[in-house]
Structure 1
Amino acid sequence: MPLTEGLFSPGQGLFPKLTAGSHQSNGKAMIVSRGLGNTTLVPRVFNRPEIVRICLKRSRKSDLFRESR
């Protein structure tokens, strides 16, 4: 849906590709938060603040060994 995500990101410029949610990058999980406040002179537009809660769970030892190869 247009205009429901951020229009600008200091690290990505206009119409950033990643603004929030869980993503995969190079086979690794990545969590992107919209954050809480403004750190630049550009105001927050169409990008509501958020706090993300992440619960990590331990993998089985055999799964960890297989992924590290």
Structure 2
Amino acid sequence: MKNNKIALKVKGKTYKVTTNAKGKATFNLKKLTKKGKFTATIKFSGNKYYKAISKKVKITVK
């Protein structure tokens, strides 16, 4: 699934990316510098084949 929009919300900041030709999305979280565990929400906006979905994920910064 290429060229789909994905959004990641962590600590009040939203990061948006588009999937590449292989369907992978890479987020650059430069603002997340404190060590610890964070809960984030990732959203897929949906398209004509798949419904929109939202999941909670855990991020660990070492």
**TM-score with structure 2 length normalisation?**
0.27
Larger radius of gyration: 1
The structure whose residues are more often strand, as a share, is 2
Query: TM-score, length-normalised on structure 1?
Result: 0.25
Higher RCO (CA-CA < 8 Å; seq separation 6+)? 2
